[in-house]
């Protein structure tokens, strides 16, 4: 390979189709959003004309959610990567049971596939971070990424002393574009009706921007990865990569390469193996919430690998780690303790006290809230494996929740910190559903509550 670039790297036909330079300047990214808006507008006009001529009812939301427009949204977010694509992933992951099926299915592709940088753009980033002679540090560096995601792509390499590494390289311009990307995506969501104007979303946007800035700081992520290695050092069945400090930069994260297959390959394993792995993952979430005081809040399935031979789970991607607010942890503790005793009134009281539900919701819709709480209590008190694959109760909760949501007087965001925790809990449950695993949630809950103490309150 040439010393000054990847000029002799010949990508496959499939790779060439996925190689797209990341728009790195503010002007080019704004231009990409402009093309998206123009394409969506054109799609709306065409669909509106079609419906008018056929005498169908027309609504703005329906016009936007046509397959063509959703595909435009997906393609453009994938091209932009960064905060734009990350928010698309979050929408799909967090709202799979509530989004229209067309939108959920197409946005799900953002979790599974991403374009990657052309070799020339990759080489430019590596030179900026490691210097022009960066290749001297490696026996080999594979220019074809082994993974590509929203903020960066991962390459396999071997150092001169024989260490096999995974090198995560951040896309150029991503960190600088976070704030404007979040604002632009939120504008699209408002147009599509997913962010009603009645809601005050300034705090949510600020929190999203803060987390994405933290995820774009690879030196910070390396520190978090080290913390998790320490916390899980004595826990069999988990593997956390080792940081390579000498090669890590703000835009490059170097770590030991840890092999494994997609966690979703557990489909090929026995029921017992799936149940056992899912039990460990749910226990890890409980430990994060009640023991560690820190949680990796991104539940993307790609953050876990599985080793069939040993049964180990490889935990990846620590950019979304954040401290768990003691009030949130202790609020969950009170709710779970009340739920285990079957005390509906105390569950509702703890839910309101923790800020998970506004008092006005219960004041205006007590019967619906009672039914929802009864469903949850009934599920969690069963001293038997909970079947994640049987989601019959989800439509019941969704229907009650949707009816409450029709009342705009009850609209309010819960505390921001609860949203991050709930995202991890819900996302892990979605993985359980994907694997059709069965886990005794009651036993996990009772054990973690019995072996931990409430987290100390933050100093004023």
pLDDT of residue 4: 47
**Domain spans of the chain, in order of start:** 13-112+178-192, 260-460
**Residue 255 three-state SS:** strand
Query: H or E stretch including 239?
Result: strand 238-239
The mean predicted confidence, pLDDT, of the chain is 80
CB atoms within 10 A of CB 378: 12
pLDDT of residue 117: 85
241 DSSP assignment? P
Residues 50, 374: Cα–Cα separation, whole Å: 46
pLDDT in tens, 186-206: 776 666 555 555 556 677 778
Token digits of residue 46: 């065409």
Active site includes 298?
yes
**Active-site entry in 123, 275, 298, 325:** 298
pLDDT of residue 66: 56
Task: State the distance between the two ends of the chain, measured CA to CA, in whole angstroms.
Answer: 58
- Give residue 55's region: left, alpha or beta (phi > 0; psi -120 to 50): left
Among 89, 433, 447, 159, smallest CA distance to 274 is for 433
Residues 416, 203: Cα–Cα separation, whole Å: 7
Instruction: Tally the residues of the chain.
Output: 460
pLDDT of residue 390: 81
Query: H or E stretch including 32?
Result: helix 26-54
| CA geometry: angle 278, 230, 162, nearest 5 deg | 95
- Of 86-95, 129-138, 200-209, 257-266, the range with the lowest mean pLDDT is 86-95
pLDDT in tens, 268-324: 899 999 999 999 999 999 999 999 999 999 888 889 999 999 999 999 999 999 999
Residues 168, 146: Cα–Cα separation, whole Å: 10
User: What's the whole-model pTM score?
Assistant: 0.79
Which residues does 14 contact at the CB level (< 8 Å), separation at least 6? none
**Residue 254 three-state SS:** strand
């Amino acid at each position: 390979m040439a010393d000054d670039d990847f000029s002799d790297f010949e990508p496959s036909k499939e790779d060439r189709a996925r190689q797209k330079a990341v728009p790195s300047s503010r002007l080019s990214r704004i231009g990409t959003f402009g093309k998206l808006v123009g394409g969506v507008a054109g799609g709306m006009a065409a669909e509106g004309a079609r419906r008018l001529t056929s005498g169908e009812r027309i609504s703005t939301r329906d016009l936007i959610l046509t397959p063509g427009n959703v595909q435009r949204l997906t393609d453009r977010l994938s091209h932009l990567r960064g905060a734009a694509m990350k928010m698309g992933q979050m929408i799909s992951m967090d709202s799979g049971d509530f989004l229209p099926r067309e939108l959920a299915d197409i946005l799900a592709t953002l979790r599974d596939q991403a374009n990657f940088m052309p070799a020339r753009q990759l080489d430019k980033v590596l030179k900026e971070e490691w210097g022009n002679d960066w290749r001297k540090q490696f026996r080999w560096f594979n220019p074809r990424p082994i993974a590509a995601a929203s903020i960066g792509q991962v390459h396999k390499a071997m150092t001169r002393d024989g260490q096999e590494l995974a090198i995560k390289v951040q896309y150029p311009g991503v960190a600088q574009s976070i704030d404007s990307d979040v604002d632009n995506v939120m504008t699209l969501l408002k147009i599509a009706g997913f962010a009603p104007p009645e809601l005050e979303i300034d705090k949510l946007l600020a929190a999203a921007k803060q987390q994405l800035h933290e995820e774009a700081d690879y030196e910070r992520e390396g520190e978090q990865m080290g913390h998790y290695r320490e916390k899980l050092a004595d826990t069999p069945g988990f593997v956390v990569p080792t940081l390579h400090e000498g090669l890590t930069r703000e835009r490059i994260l170097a770590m030991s390469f840890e092999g494994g297959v997609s966690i979703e390959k557990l489909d090929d394993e026995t029921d017992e193996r799936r149940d056992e792995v899912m039990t460990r993952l749910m226990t890890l979430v409980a430990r994060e919430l009640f023991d560690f005081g820190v949680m990796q809040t991104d539940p993307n399935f790609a953050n876990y690998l599985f080793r069939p031979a040993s049964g180990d789970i490889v935990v990846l991607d620590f950019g979304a780690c954040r401290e768990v607010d003691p009030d949130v942890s202790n609020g969950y503790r009170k709710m779970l303790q009340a739920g285990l005793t079957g005390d509906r009134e105390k569950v509702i009281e703890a839910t309101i006290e923790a800020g998970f539900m506004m008092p006005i919701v219960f004041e205006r819709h007590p019967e619906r809230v009672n039914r929802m709480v009864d469903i949850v209590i009934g599920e969690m008190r069963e001293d038997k494996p909970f079947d994640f694959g049987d989601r019959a109760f989800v439509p019941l909760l969704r229907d009650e929740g949707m009816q409450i949501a029709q009342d705009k007087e009850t609209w309010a965001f819960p505390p921001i910190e609860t949203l991050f925790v709930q995202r991890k809990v819900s996302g892990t449950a979605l993985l359980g559903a994907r694997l059709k695993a069965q886990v005794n949630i009651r036993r996990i809950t009772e054990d973690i509550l019995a072996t931990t103490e409430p987290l100390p309150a933050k100093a004023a």
